[in-house]
Amino acid sequence: MDLKGNPSQHGYYMPAEWEPHTQCWMGWPERPDNWRDNAVPAQHVFAKVASSISKFESVTVCASTAQWAYARSLLPDNIRVVEMSMNDSWFRDTGPTFVVRKSDSHSENQQKIAGIDWDFNSWGGVDDGCYTDWNLDLLVARKILAIERVPRFPHSIILEGGSIHVDGEGTCLTTEECLLNKNRNPHMTKELIEDELKAYLGVKKIIWLPRGLYGDEDTNGHIDNMCCFAKPGVVLLSWTDDELDPQYERSVEALSILTNTTDANGRKLQVIKLHVPGTLYMSDEEARGLVKNGEAKARPPGTRLAASYVNFYIANGAIITPQFGDQKWDDEAVRILSLAFPDHEVVRIEGAREIVLGGGNIHCITQQQPACP
């Protein structure tokens, strides 16, 4: 069922990711031009992510007709596997953004959860996107909402879930590099985009960082690789101490903005630095494992991988965090996250490099369905 107007008019808002979930949604990777070796290494890591999350909340994995039986065989029985067509498996960006209503707001006979179905253009359209056909991805959010019988707010703005982070109390983080990119909504001004975010996410203030993580060219600098909320008034920021790394300039730039602004409730932000792993590059062997057919963005050997520990998933009582095989910074990330989320168990996902090779990480492949407040 499609709802008219915008979510705010109906009393809906996007809750923070640490608020309770009913389940997590994930897709299943298979396209051989984006996932090396017919996606088998990535599939095993996706299964590891899904299995880890399922120990804390319900998980639904969506797989194509051709992949359903294989996905089912790799996943534990407590995970629901449903058949769904898709162009690729980035459910943070193609799945719905769920919004909720407080129990005492508006009509009691209206559902307390709904979903926003943003428009999608493969992160940049035919000339600048990650693949040339995204018709199946356009239906993912609608299908998820139909499965759950959740009302839908359609929106014509091109926006991906990885480009926004909220604190659940009126503040949204995003980047100019992504939302103001000419390959998204060139007809819209910054002010118009702000108005839409406020109306659809139920936020009052947008904090704009100029740029995302260095090397995150696939998404044009999604916020979920660069910075996120740990709780209201506290953010985690991708950081490096190496002044020769191009990421250093971006991190310092973001730190300056974050420490000189307040959230929607007037709080000065506390910034926790989360150091990126040592620089990672796609190897010759990894690049050779990709099918080159002109339908997906080329990933040549030597490409810098956009690896960040900020790209984690907050489950009910757990932080599902990527590990990149860099023991020093892997351990440091776990230490920092354990301090930032003292009531959560930090779960390491070894081998997360496989997800980075495809252009994202754990946050990018997951989409939380919040519980009703």
Catalytic residues: 364
Residue 12's beta-bridge partner residues?
Answer: 101
Strand partners, 83: 63
Question: Of the candidates 84, 86, 52, which has an alpha carbon nearest to the alpha carbon of residue 68?
Answer: 84
- For residues 60 and 31, what is the distance between their CA atoms, to the nearest angstrom? 20
Rounded to whole angstroms, the Cα distance separating 183 from 128 reads 7
Q: Among 3, 60, 35, 55, which residue's Cα sits nearest to residue 367?
A: 60
Longest dimension (CA), the chain: 59
Instruction: Label each residue of the chain as H, E or C.
Output: CECCCCHHHHCEECCCCCCCEEEEEEECCCCCCCCCHHHHHHHHHHHHHHHHHHCCCEEEEEECCCCHHHHHHHCCCCCEEEECCCCCCCHHHHCCEEEEECCCCCCCCCCCEEEEEEECCCCCHHHHCCECCCCCHHHHHHHHHHHHCCCEEEEEEECCHHHCEECCCCEEEEEHHHHCCCCCCCCCCHHHHHHHHHHHHCCCEEEEECCCCCCCCCCCCCHHHCEEEEECCEEEEEECCCCCCHHHHHHHHHHHHHHCCECCCCCECEEEEEECCCCCECCHHHHHCCCCCCCECCCCCCCECCCCCCCCEEECCEEEEECCCCHHHHHHHHHHHHHHCCCCEEEEECCCHHHHHHCCCHHHHEEEEECCC
